[in-house]
Structure 1
Amino acid sequence: MLYLINLLGFSKEGWGLYLLGAALMTVAVTLAALVIGAFVGSFVAWAKLSRNLTARIAGDAYTTIFRGMPELLIIYVVFFGGSAAVTAAAEQFGIEGFLGMPSFLAGAIGVGLISASYQAEVFRGSFTAIVPGEIEAARAIGMPRLMRFRRIIAPQVMRFAIPGLGNVWQLSLKDSALISVTGLVEIMNASNKAAGSTHQFFIFYIVGGTLYLILTSLSNRVFNAGEAHVAKSFRRPAGMQGS
């Protein structure tokens, strides 16, 4: 037991601080991926809802490709394709040699593009759940498009989207383990290094899995609290329940 405490402790000989830093890196790259996915996914959702046939085809193609291809393959394409692009751009300025794409950026973009394909469906479904009469009423009183989006569409889309976004977050959190192939020291990479250095593979892989479970449990609480808060703001006053 003392050996286990020393092995996972925060002393100079322990791996606790190293694993904690890897857990924070996992959260950081997943947050970055979620933001990238929300930005890209909102445009993909708009394309899938558009009356323009070309836009709908493009949106459907994006979700089909990024949900159908293996996640690891997408990360490889982003990392090595991005590195090739960076190297080619550097050569234009007389810089020779291979320049690798930063691991954090490659991981955030790769997981973000995957996340976008799922967030697009969440946003699309949330938009279709809005009562059409509310948008029509806003148009009838002459409310500008941007104001309609800010006051009616965006709040209700987020209200319906939070449960789905929670699932996408969990998916992205697990996909972050694949970023270890780019050299980023997140939970999976740190667990591998610790296990290889100490030959305690079972212990460190169990610890790595436990860290993922802790992060998913905490994030579930955050999304549940957010869902309850948003639902409260849309709750009707007691006197209007029957109307």
Structure 2
Amino acid sequence: MKVAKPDSWPADPEAAAALQDHLRSRVIAENPRPPRFRTVAGLDSAYDEDGNVAAAIVVLDATTLETVEVATARGTTDFPYVPGLLAFRELPTTLTALENLTVTPDLLICDAQGLAHPRRFGFACHIGLLTGVPTIGVAKNAWGDYTEPGRERGCSSVITIDGDPVGAALRTRTDVKPVFVSVGHLIDLETACAQVLSLTPEYRQPETTRRADRLCRTLLRDMAVPSAPPASGTT
């Protein structure tokens, strides 16, 4: 898959925040063409205290939810842990994983924020701009204000930041905590919520997220296991 990987990344939080402010005006929060999502991909990453990063991409058939392709990547980061800038710890390794795909998915679903972000430019927005593929963020926690949606599956309420609508709290399972959906790029919020519901037939999280999460955490655990020392002997 082709990705517009930048030549360099911000070296400090101030530069990273400035880049988000610079890029956010390029986000398109609508469908530029009638949506047709035949394949959807889940993106997730995990990192440890040593700076190891594992990223996983799982592509599913949008109708059957069968796995079409999987790609992973390993990397490291020394970018500091700063709320609102966590994307810069994960983006380089995630882009490498995307480049390892042989197919280009029709929709990318990130375990992250999109417009529901303090600078209106979360991880999902950044990935969307770098790939040119419709992208949404589906987060486990909200960034912004919202009221609890109705208790039944499919109910939703608006997430706002400073009074501006930035996403939706969406109930994917009756009487279960909602997920928090926001636009990343090239899709509108109504379409994004419909896609999330189609990907949650059994669980709170989309199947894309569940499978990518398991894969990247397994990869990270493997990275943390030290290699066995060579056997000693006499000659």
TM-score by length of 2: 0.28
TM-score by length of 1: 0.28
Larger Rg over CA atoms: 1
The structure carrying a bigger helix percent of its residues is 1
